[in-house]
Amino acid sequence: MLKSRVNLGKRSYEIIIGEGILSQLGVTLKRLAIGTDAFIITNKFLKDKYGAKLSRALLKEGFNFHFKIVADSEKSKSIQTASMVISELAKFSKEKKVFIIAFGGGVIGDLSGFVASVYKRGTNYVQIPTTLLAQVDSAIGGKTALDLDLGKNLVGAFYQPRLVFSDVDFLKSLDNKQLASGMSEVIKYAAIKDKKLFSFLEDNSKKIIAKDSKALEKIVASCSKIKAKITSSDERETCGLRTILNFGHTIGHAIEAAGGYCGYNHGQAVSLGMIAAIDLSQRLKLINQKLAVRVENLIKLYGLPSKLKAIPMAKIIKAHYHDKKFSGKENKFVLLSGIGKTRIVRNVSLDLIKESIKKISG
């Protein structure tokens, strides 16, 4: 069992990472003393696959619980679903000391976090992330979100969980595409902050792709540590530190938006965005070609795309201007100046951006 900690004064919390640790969930929750009645938000697939084990872990320590099933889709991050979940939560929580468990990937985590942030002006919640992306990224840091028709993640609050409990055993049932999607964020962390992790990813791809528990535990722990540290110093992305987590995301978000969110998934879009950012870094002479090729090769090693198909450049450029991180007329790119080293560059010229998008165009 490995641990990291998000240090935010009274709102500090632990991230517990391990293999087969679900059976210890009850004891951990009891120690936290955040409530006796768990309202578990999940989807049907996860309840069918892991619900019995989760129930046993809670029953063993005398917790009362209720499963709330939502649809397995990004569409669950909607005001309508949140409203339905809150109504059921209100019925369940009568005369109980309730806390929420987000049991699922990033969709469930974002929805549950939002519900927790508004129910009774803030209710305790725990993240039990079940995808690699959620374990290394979305479950940590307290960004909660719902989508609107006008765009993704437009409604939300910063609201920290009381615990993140990452059992890497859940990752065994991910399909290759979901694993690769999470690996894109793992590569991002290594590229921006952790040279050793980068080499580990280069040397252990077979083990990781085969979902070897120890290898998964190592990458989840390394990434959690980075995200915990960054969140502890820049909770609300106000002093710039958290910005580096957007490496690959400026063009990545534009690719997702330009494809109407049904082309490339988030991880694939971020991979393409990282390759574009690497190309920009090289054009601005922050890194040499050898290093650029090293990052691109790592992305390819994990089955992530390096060439963009079927989305016109004009659409990506247009979407890039609508990115919510794009403030006024100034653009802002997180670029690399080495493995584990970043440089924030503002006002990159449109010509350069176009050249980098050309680099990823198939």
| Residue ranges binding ligand NAD (CB under 6 A) | 43, 45-46, 72, 74, 77, 104-108, 110, 130-131, 133-134, 137-138, 141, 143, 145, 153, 170, 173-174, 178, 181, 266
d(CA 252, CA 249): 4
Edge-to-edge strand ranges of the sheet holding 98-104: 2-6, 13-18, 163-167, 125-129, 98-104, 37-42, 64-69
Residue numbers annotated as active site: 121, 143, 185, 227, 237, 242, 246, 249, 253, 266
Q: Report, in Å, the least distance between residue 73 CB and ligand NAD.
A: 7
Residue with tokens 């002006």: 121
Strands 2-6 and 13-18: antiparallel
**In the complex, what is the shortest distance from the CB of residue 148 to ligand NAD, in angstroms, rounded to a whole number?**
13
Tokens of residue 52, six digits: 């019995």
C-beta of 150: minimal distance to ligand NAD in Å?
Answer: 15
Q: Which is nearer to ligand NAD, 131 or 282 (CB)?
A: 131
Residue 159 or 200 having the CB closest to ligand NAD:
159
Question: Nearest approach, Cβ of 286 to ligand NAD (angstroms)?
Answer: 26
The Cβ of residue 332 has, within 10 Å, a number of other Cβ atoms equal to 17
Of 8, 15, 4, 237, the closest CA to residue 126 belongs to 15
Based on CB atoms, which residue is closest to ligand NAD, 110 or 217? 110
| Beta carbon nearer to ligand NAD, 256 or 296 | 256
Residue-wise burial string across 58-86, b where 16 or more C-beta atoms lie within 10 A, e elsewhere: beeeebebbbbbbebebebbbeebbeebe
- For 242: left if phi > 0, alpha if psi spans -120 to 50, otherwise beta; the answer is alpha
The closest residue (CB) to ligand NAD is 106
Min. distance of Cβ 104 from ligand NAD in angstroms?
5
Structure token digits, residue 116: 């927790």
Measure the CA–CA gap between 247 and 188, rounded to whole angstroms: 7
Tracing tokens 């965005």 back to the chain, one arrives at 273
- CB of 71 vs ligand NAD, minimal distance in Å: 10
